[in-house]
Amino acid sequence: MRGGAFLLAANAVAALAAMASEPPAARYPSPIELVISPDGSRLYALCEGTDEVVTYDLGSGRILHRTPVGRVPKSLALSPDAKHLYVANSWSDTISDLDTSSLQVVRTLPAGFEPNAAISDREGRFLFVANRLSNDVSVVDLASGLESKRLLAGRGAAYLTLSPDGSRIYCTHIYPNIAKFRATPESEITVIDAARQVVAERYRLHNAAGVFHVAVSADGRLGMAAQMRPKNLVPLAHVEHGWVIGNSISLFGEDVGEVVQISIDELDRYYTPPFAIAMARDKSVAYVSTTGSDSVTVIDIGRLLALIRTLSPAERRALANDLSASANYVVARVPVGHGPKGLTLSPDGKRLYVANRTGDTISVIDTAARRVVSDLSLGGPATLTPERRGERLFFNAGFAFHGHFGCANCHIEATFDGLSWDLEPDGFGKDYVDNRLLEDVADTAPFKWNGANPNLETECGPRTEKFFYRSESYDGWQLNDLVSFIKSIPLRPNRYRNGELTPAQERGKVIFERTRRKNGTPIPAKNQCAVCHSGPHYTNQQLADVGTGKPTDRSPLIDTPQLTNVVLTGPYLHDGSARSLEEIWTVFNPQDTHGVTNDLQKDELNDLIEYLKTL
């Protein structure tokens, strides 16, 4: 007995000692982008999970160095002379300038809010940075290291590419531009004159939302942008026949004339969402990573262009809605690792490298055989936590009918999509719902705009299976993992809250917390901003009728949304009818039922917005 007690005590001490010395939880590398050196000897892998650039020697397949960069880096690009590697650190709002000889960061450059990509002009004089939260492109003088200019891009400015002649920079954006309520989503490719540093053109991408990488052929005649085409205006009554999202490529350039959108889906199988594009130098094929489908789609460009040349303008417009079209130009689907994101081709075109973000590997594809011949490991933790398993599920599209879509198609990169949807169970044309940000949702039950789901398990389990996926989906273990991941999604840094509030933010705070109108009369408690939008997440987690219901809503009672990072998540209100925070009050609050705002002047509303930005 005594011996047993001693053993237990010893075990307890050992366990405590182990806990005391336990290192912080290991992070998963999560490779998201790849770049290869011009001589093909080095591969640079950007790991957004471990905030580092991992440099491989491709001759030996070994890791040469791990270079720490800023927080949550999103993309990287080589300078024209390949002596510098520019890394966009999305949470640090900086660009790391990495010397490719020493593999050290030699300086940090400025950027806007949440830089997502950076690319140098051909002369190496200026760096163009796509800023995802400020929706613009910074122009940074590489000599002085200072930002010299901002150019307005699309909402959620995301990815950049330089035309081969260096004259144009093409910029995509991941959220559709804010538009009229229930209008077809519109996106653009912002075309920047690199020499004059002005926006030269905006290519309209009709009904595109979620536009990711853009690539241009070596001859400069063909551009390709990976995108989704949502069907959010049509009742989501079923999934078959491409009813939810079209996975698509926008083509532009002299080869096609006007922008042509094509489908990469099939009738019974979907390849989603298309993320990165790599084109062979001879323009024979293009490779498209499809993150949720764990595959790379291979497009025969010659066959594609031949098809397009035979089509009338009307037929070209119909191409993106034709699930049988891809049979004419898709020549292979190559299975790769989990969550493929960035791609890069070797200079000789014989190898394609694929960053498997949630698999922590790099697939190496033999482009002639069109199959994976080896994998490079990023050396992440050997075991998967529930959160990591849930992350894989979140980004995987294999659970929806025919693999049509996954959580991340609408919650793009675990955020939102800027769209309102007509979901089916309530009837057609009723209860349009705006898609909500997933960050900071863990303690904000109930869920759904009508508060019908008491917890995330219900929201992500039976409801998702029955009304979204329309197919058997997560088992109990998987659902627990998925919910664990969603609860762990970190809240991105607030760019507007830097210590003390500014005078405008202070004035806005006073308005937010006021209990009396400007004329001194009391504001009923239920009509005070800080009552319903209270607590750590700025929600009292109650339903309320604030007069924003529409005739198409079955009930005027709306779940009080959390306000954390609310400035990012337009459009607003439960149905996405308010295009801006200001419209919530100036258009949709005529009777002061959603807070008292009609006694406020324009500048006071501006102050209120300034305060809301800090939440």
Partner 1 sequence: MISRCLGLVVLCRLVSGAAPIPVPYIYTEAPRYDSRASLHGGERFPAGAALEIVSNGRKRVLAPGFAASADAAVSFDGTSVLFSGKRKPADSWQIWEIPLSGGGPRRVTSFAEDAVTPFYLPGERIAYARRTPQGFQIETALPDGGAPLRLTYAPGDHILCDVLRDGRVLFEAPHPDAQSSTRDLFTVYTDGSGVETHRCDHGRDRSRGRELSSGDIIFQTGSHLARFTSARATQVELAATAGEFAGPTAEISPEEWLVSYRSNAAASFGLYRWRPGQGLPETVLAIKGTNILQPVLVRPHTVPKRHPSGLGDRQGANLLCLNSYVSRSQTIPAGSVAAVRVSALNASGVSVVLGQAPVERDGSFYVQVPSETPIRFELLDAIGKSIASEKGWFWARRGEQRVCVGCHAGPEHTPENRAPEVLLRTQEPVKMALPVHNGKQGKK
Beta carbons of 76 and 103 less than 8 angstroms apart = no
Stretch that binds partner 1, among 33-41, 196-204, 326-334, 440-448 (CB under 8 A): 326-334
Q: Which residue has the tokens 């001859």?
A: 219
- Residue with smaller CB distance to partner 1, 301 or 330: 330
Using rule CB under 8 A, residue 173 touches partner 1: no
Stretch that binds partner 1, among 129-137, 187-195, 441-449, 465-473 (CB under 8 A): 465-473
Determine whether 6 is exposed, middle or buried from the number of CB atoms within 10 Å of its CB (0-12, 13-18, 19+). exposed
Strand 157-162 relative to strand 62-68: parallel, antiparallel, unpaired?
unpaired
Amino acid at 280: A
CA 242 vs CA 122, 266, 351, 407: distances in Å: 41, 9, 32, 16
Residue 262: strand pairing partners: 249
Stretch that binds partner 1, among 56-64, 145-153, 226-234, 384-392 (CB under 8 A): 226-234
Q: Which residues of 549-587 are buried (b: 16+ CB within 10 A; e: fewer)?
A: beeebeeebbbbbbbbbbbbbbbbbbbbbbbebbbbbbe
- Residue with smaller CB distance to partner 1, 324 or 498: 324
Using rule CB under 8 A, residue 163 touches partner 1: no
Using rule CB under 8 A, residue 91 touches partner 1: no
Stretch that binds partner 1, among 59-67, 80-88, 241-249, 603-611 (CB under 8 A): 241-249
Using rule CB under 8 A, residue 430 touches partner 1: yes
Q: What is the nearest approach in angstroms of partner 1 to the Cβ of residue 305?
A: 19
- Residue with smaller CB distance to partner 1, 122 or 182: 182
Using rule CB under 8 A, residue 204 touches partner 1: no
Q: What is the nearest approach in angstroms of partner 1 to the Cβ of residue 428?
A: 5
Using rule CB under 8 A, residue 267 touches partner 1: yes
With CB under 8 A as the contact rule, the residue among 182, 495, 497, 514 that binds partner 1 is 182
Closest CA to 490 of 155, 49, 67, 45: 49
With CB under 8 A as the contact rule, the residue among 141, 147, 219, 322 that binds partner 1 is 322
Using rule CB under 8 A, residue 331 touches partner 1: no
Q: What is the nearest approach in angstroms of partner 1 to the Cβ of residue 474?
A: 11
Stretch that binds partner 1, among 36-44, 179-187, 291-299, 355-363 (CB under 8 A): 179-187
- Residue with smaller CB distance to partner 1, 413 or 422: 422
* CA atoms of 58 and 70, how far apart (whole Å): 25
Q: Which residue has the tokens 């295009």?
A: 579
At residue 312, the 3 state secondary structure works out as coil
Nearest 5°: the CA angle 55, 60, 66 is 20
Q: What is the nearest approach in angstroms of partner 1 to the Cβ of residue 209?
A: 9
Determine whether 601 is exposed, middle or buried from the number of CB atoms within 10 Å of its CB (0-12, 13-18, 19+). exposed
Beta carbons of 578 and 584 less than 8 angstroms apart = yes
Q: How far is CA 417 from the centre of its chain?
A: 8
Using rule CB under 8 A, residue 27 touches partner 1: no
* DSSP state, residue 565: T
Using rule CB under 8 A, residue 517 touches partner 1: no
Q: What is the nearest approach in angstroms of partner 1 to the Cβ of residue 576?
A: 13
- H or E element that contains 318: helix 313-318
Site for partner 1 in 71-90 (CB under 8 A): none
DSSP string, 413-475: GGS--S-EE-BSTT-TT---EE----TT-TT--SBSTT--BSSHHHHHTHHIIIIII-S----
Name the phi and psi angles at 484, rounded to 5: -60, -40
Instruction: Return the HEC string of 240-265.
Output: CCCCCEEEEEEEEECCCEEEEEEECC
Q: What is the nearest approach in angstroms of partner 1 to the Cβ of residue 188?
A: 17
Q: Which residues of 320-350 are buried (b: 16+ CB within 10 A; e: fewer)?
A: bbbbebbebbbebbbebbbbbbbbbbbeebe
Name the phi and psi angles at 332, rounded to 5: -165, 155
Size, binding site for partner 1 by CB under 8 A: 50
Q: What is the nearest approach in angstroms of partner 1 to the Cβ of residue 187?
A: 13
Radius of gyration over every alpha carbon of the chain, rounded to an integer in angstroms? 25
With CB under 8 A as the contact rule, the residue among 110, 235, 379, 446 that binds partner 1 is 235
Beta carbons of 36 and 347 less than 8 angstroms apart = yes
Beta carbons of 223 and 251 less than 8 angstroms apart = yes
Using rule CB under 8 A, residue 313 touches partner 1: no
CA 77 vs CA 74, 114, 153, 242: distances in Å: 11, 17, 20, 35
Q: What is the nearest approach in angstroms of partner 1 to the Cβ of residue 397?
A: 14
Q: What is the nearest approach in angstroms of partner 1 to the Cβ of residue 553?
A: 10
Stretch that binds partner 1, among 5-13, 35-43, 461-469, 598-606 (CB under 8 A): 461-469
Using rule CB under 8 A, residue 405 touches partner 1: no
With CB under 8 A as the contact rule, the residue among 207, 528, 564, 565 that binds partner 1 is 207
Using rule CB under 8 A, residue 370 touches partner 1: no
With CB under 8 A as the contact rule, the residue among 70, 176, 230, 253 that binds partner 1 is 230
Using rule CB under 8 A, residue 323 touches partner 1: yes
Q: What is the nearest approach in angstroms of partner 1 to the Cβ of residue 172?
A: 19
Q: What is the nearest approach in angstroms of partner 1 to the Cβ of residue 231?
A: 5
With CB under 8 A as the contact rule, the residue among 57, 123, 258, 268 that binds partner 1 is 268
With CB under 8 A as the contact rule, the residue among 31, 154, 246, 359 that binds partner 1 is 246
Using rule CB under 8 A, residue 319 touches partner 1: no
Stretch that binds partner 1, among 96-104, 237-245, 302-310, 371-379 (CB under 8 A): 237-245
* CA atoms of 216 and 522, how far apart (whole Å): 61
Using rule CB under 8 A, residue 276 touches partner 1: no
Q: How far is CA 26 from the centre of its chain?
A: 24
Nearest 5°: the CA angle 609, 612, 615 is 160
Stretch that binds partner 1, among 169-177, 264-272, 444-452, 510-518 (CB under 8 A): 264-272
Using rule CB under 8 A, residue 234 touches partner 1: yes
Using rule CB under 8 A, residue 177 touches partner 1: no
With CB under 8 A as the contact rule, the residue among 123, 240, 315, 599 that binds partner 1 is 240
Q: Which residues of this chain interact with partner 1, rule CB under 8 A? A: 182, 184-185, 207, 229-235, 237-238, 240-243, 246, 263, 266-269, 321-327, 330, 401-402, 422, 424-425, 427-430, 462, 465-467, 469-473, 552
